[in-house]
Structure 1
């Protein structure tokens, strides 16, 4: 599993209905994308859920590198670059994935938490803690799914979870879920990824 996200931070007075309309028009285009586990079309609105910014920030869990590369290099990503400029694309290697108790419910909100792996710690122990945290999040009431991944270049962990209701039991940046494409969700490997 591979996690990926790009963030488009928008002006404070930006009409977010433009983003909502864009997702309504094109969100379905990845509903059958080969190699994609899930794509959550995410939006943060300034002043909502404590967000200091307006931001469109889709989050992906890929089941294959080929599917991810076909998205990035095969033309689909060019639409984002043409409309908003080419954003930095963050990527993490999968550590854990779990379905939640509300797996069959539609996702209303997502939570993403990024944190550095501290210097001087045993990396294996931190990764096991990330697996345990993924399991804990998935076990919380209202959890649709939870995942953890790491970027070893900068030693950054990312925790990602989807929730069926407002007020999720997770810490981090809270996003509205505008659409969820999940063609390969059932094929994402469960549990620890090594």
Structure 2
């Protein structure tokens, strides 16, 4: 499996209702999309206490064919048309652990880590926090950047954390 994410930074005074309406009206179009395990429509909203406004959907693909279809068969053109040219971060899934309650997820906590240069990678351990009320967790690595990210999913907003938290506007799942 592989994952992709593009992060659209938006101005501090951007009306986030535009993104909310966009997802409300179009989010279900990726429900059951070819080879898509899930797509989490993620935002941060300055008016809700986040540091910035952003739209940062996260996709986990079961096969590359579906990802290729999304990027090159006109679907990503909607992003280009609305937000301009965006870099897509691509990574390999190291772990995907989703509970039966995963569809109830409303928030995602994002944590980034370095993969340090070493004489050997045999035995390298991906570290990920475990949370009692977690509904799922995905770890994605990118050997081009020697970094990995862990995305932890929750029904209720995690408290007392200095880590980046996204709100999920819609969760598209495979059928």
TM-score by length of 1: 0.82
User: Is residue 2:141 matched to residue 1:178?
Assistant: no
Taking the aligned partners of 2:102 and 2:172, their CA distance within structure 1 comes to 14
Match for residue 156 of structure 2? 165
Q: Secondary structure of the residue that 1:37 maps to in structure 2?
A: strand
Superposed CA RMSD in Å reads 2.1
Match for residue 33 of structure 1? 33
Match for residue 133 of structure 2? 142
Q: How does 1:124-135 map to 2 (within 5 A)?
A: 124-126=122-124, 129-130=125-126, 133=128
Unaligned 5+ runs, structure 1:
185-194
Match for residue 96 of structure 2? 97
Greater helix fraction, Structure 1 or Structure 2: 1
Q: How does 1:1-194 map to 2 (within 5 A)?
A: 1-46=1-46, 48=48, 51-100=50-99, 103-104=101-102, 106-120=104-118, 122-126=120-124, 129-130=125-126, 133=128, 137=130, 140-167=131-158, 172-183=163-174
Q: Secondary structure of the residue that 1:23 maps to in structure 2?
A: helix
Unaligned 5+ runs, structure 2:
none
Report how many aligned residue pairs link the two structures. 175
Taking the aligned partners of 1:10 and 1:180, their CA distance within structure 2 comes to 21
Taking the aligned partners of 1:18 and 1:48, their CA distance within structure 2 comes to 15
TM-score by length of 2: 0.91
